[in-house]
Amino acid sequence: MHRRLVFEEPVSRAAIWSRRLALFGLTVVVLAVVIFRFGQPSVERLAPIAGAYVFVLLALLLSLAAFVRIWQDGHRGIGIAAFAFVLSLLLLLPLAYAGFQLATLPLISDVSTDIDEPPAFSRSRVALAARQGLVPPDVAPERRKAQRQGYPRALPIVLELPAEIAYDIARKASVNLGWRVLEGAAPGGRSGAGRLDAVAHSRVLRLVDDITIRIRPRADGSRIDIRSASRLGGFDFGANARRIAAFEEEVKLLVELR
């Protein structure tokens, strides 16, 4: 009886290393995000996340190289390379989306529904302590105009309700959205305006954004203006405009439920 020897083609080393790098990149990204979430946000602490994506990009390039070698030399490992390729693409999708936003949205990290007279942030002891002594700086008028072009729907909320009721609705909307309300002042006094100051966090990285809301009485009701500013960086990837839109939707929902 004769044995028949079967020689199998070797597994592509590029495919093996592409999978290793993709899994390593995934691990580092997850760990870096977790560490960032539970620390003090800063641009420097984003470096490990950026470094992790170097491995992800290398994994993508190696998977492409593996496809070429497998096609040319008949090596095995197409499934391994495909896994690394898909995983790398999935990890790179957030970066691609961020790049698209950077190219299409205005370079701003402070959005207000009133670009001519934006609501001012409170400088009380409570508010300053919550913001670690920081007060979001004023934004140049030309950048506010760019905001209007980039976020045309960030407009004042006009209600056919008294300012006192609008204040209660604005406060409840802030709480419903998960914001931490720092302090508030009901409409009245010399100016007749009310205000709320709050703090919000992004979902993934827990980046901190500061919010101030102004409620003014009108002859036919009230007007609510909201301003949301990011503490980190000069570009917010549209986060503040989305937060303002979510606040407007919540206010309208609460008005309908009255």
Question: In the prediction, which pLDDT does 8 show?
Answer: 60
Structure tokens, 186: 């009901």
Complete DSSP assignment for the chain: ------PPPPBPHHHHHHHHHHHHHHHHHHHHHHHHHTS---SGGGHHHHHHHHHHHHHHHHHHHHHHHHHHH--B-HHHHHHHHHHHHHHHHHHHHHHHHHHHS-S-SEEES-SSSPPPPP-SHHHHHHTTT--PPPPPHHHHHHHHHH-TT---EEESS-HHHHHHHHHHHHHHTT-EEEEEE-S-TTT--EEEEEEEE-SSS--EEEEEEEEEEETTEEEEEEEEEESSSS--TTHHHHHHHHHHHHHHHHHHH-
- Last residue in a domain, options 104, 134, 155: 104
Same domain, 55 and 182: no
| pLDDT computed for residue 202 by the predictor | 84
CB 227 within 8 Å of CB 119: yes
Q: What is the pLDDT of residue 6?
A: 43
Number of separate domains in the chain = 2
- Please tell me whether residues 124 and 96 are part of one structural domain: no
Domain check: are 117 and 196 in the same one?
yes
Considering the chain, what percentage of its residues have pLDDT values greater than 70? 94
* pLDDT 10s digits, 220-256: 899 999 999 998 878 888 999 999 999 999 999 999 9
Tokens of 211: 């919010």
As a whole number of angstroms, the distance between CA 121 and CA 199 comes to 11
Q: Does residue 51 share a domain with residue 99? A: yes
pLDDT of residue 86: 95
pLDDT-derived band at 51 (thresholds 50, 70, 90) equals: confident
Who wins on pLDDT, 29 or 43? 29
- Both 27 and 99 in one domain: the answer is yes
Among residues 71, 104, 137, the one where a domain terminates is 104
Residues 98 and 129 in one domain: no
Instruction: Note whether 124 and 235 are same-domain residues.
Output: yes
Q: Are residues 222 and 187 in the same domain?
A: yes
Please indicate, yes or no, if residue 73 is contained in any of the structural domains.
yes
CATH of the domain at 189: 3.30.530.50
The verdict on residue 1 lying in a domain is no
Asked whether residue 190 is assigned to any structural domain, the reply reads yes
Give the range with max mean pLDDT: 100-114, 167-181, 199-213: 167-181
Confidence (pTM): 0.81
39 and 123 assigned to the same domain: no
Q: What is the pLDDT of residues 73-131, one digit of tens each?
A: 777 888 899 999 999 999 999 889 988 988 888 888 999 999 989 999 999 999 898 88
Identify whether 5 is part of a domain.
Answer: no
- Cα separation, 145 vs 138, in Å, equals 14
* Cα Rg of the chain (Å, integer): 26
Quote the domain boundaries for residue 39.
Answer: 13-104
Amino acid found at 110: D
Q: Cα–Cα distances in Å, from 156 out to 28, 115, 131, 199, 245?
A: 43, 10, 25, 20, 11
Supply 177's token pair.
């959205």
Which of 104, 138, 170 represents a domain boundary (last residue)? 104
Judge whether 84 and 65 are in contact, CB under 8 Å: no
